[in-house]
Amino acid sequence: MPHPFCRFEKKAFLGLFVILFLAYFIPNQAAAQAYYSSVSTAAGGTGRGAVEPGDALLLNPSTLPHLQGRFLNFSAAEDVFFVSLSDNTKESALPAGASFIQKKSKISVGNSLEDFKHQDIAITLADFIVDKWTVGITGHYIEQSLGLASYIHTNADLGFLYIHNPNLGLALVFYNVFGEKGTLPVEIREKFSVATGMNFIYHETIRFKVEATSESILAVGLETYLNKFFITRFGYSEDFDDKRQILCAGLGFNGPRFQLNYAYLGNTQKSSDYRQSVDMVIPF
């Protein structure tokens, strides 16, 4: 069944924690970016209001307090590798995690194509602030290279999650909260953005997800359980600025010892614009 939301007691120190953490990162400004696991990719890029090990650290850090236990997550696609480790056990002081992502691509710079490499080391901390409300912060340490030039910078994402009941969650996430850095090449800058999403579980077998971002992207996703172990996922997203329409599908296996997820993403108007990815999640 889809991961149900759970409830913890309020942690009074979270307000101070948020202030101190933000104060540490404010002097450092640069670009970070959201990462989509195969679970959220197969559902059209939705997942900010859902609880998934592969998405909790970077897509919406405020979902981490609902993810009980320890999880090791691996994800791979063409020119992309991602690994994360999260810990939300009784022994931990508060829910936390660490992740690493590496991407390679080619970017148009003027009239030429330049090799682009992106590496992101991220640390996530999260907890309950009041009943039904959680907050999470992911700090990014980013190394990028474009052609022969290299750049190092930091940024942070801030997420909130409201649980109305075990089957309904509402999310609000702020990415690149310190904005873009003017010293970076225009081609690799990432601006401050906002995303909101809803996650609704119906009869413990079907999950609906709807999300919108300030980047003019609207996405919907559907997840159904065929039986105790196998999940099918479908999604659609549209980027109104770039005129990009995406259809997605995927299959998941949720076993007792590990989880395996596959996703396919394809542009309905451009056959060369597609991506496949595979994730493995190991709880321990």
Length of the chain: 284
- Please answer whether residues 242 and 250 qualify as being in contact, where contact means their C-beta atoms are separated by less than 8 angstroms: no
Q: Which residue has the tokens 């810990």?
A: 87
Cα–Cα–Cα angle for 261, 125, 65, rounded to 5 degrees: 60
pLDDT digits (tens, 9 = 90+) for 67-95: 999 999 999 988 899 999 999 999 999 99
Contact 48, 159 (CB under 8 A): yes
Q: By C-alpha distance, which of 118, 138, 219, 134 is closest to 178?
A: 138
pLDDT at position 108: 87
Residue 1: per-residue pLDDT: 64
For residue range 97-140, list pLDDT tens digits in order.
999 999 999 998 888 899 999 999 999 999 999 989 999 999 99
Which domains can be identified in the chain, with CATH numbers? 14-283 (2.40.160.60)
Does residue 32 have a pLDDT over 70?
Answer: no
3-state secondary structure of 108: strand
In this predicted structure, the answer to whether residue 14 has a pLDDT above a threshold of 60 is: no
Higher pLDDT, 108 or 19: 108
Is pTM beyond 0.75? Reply is yes
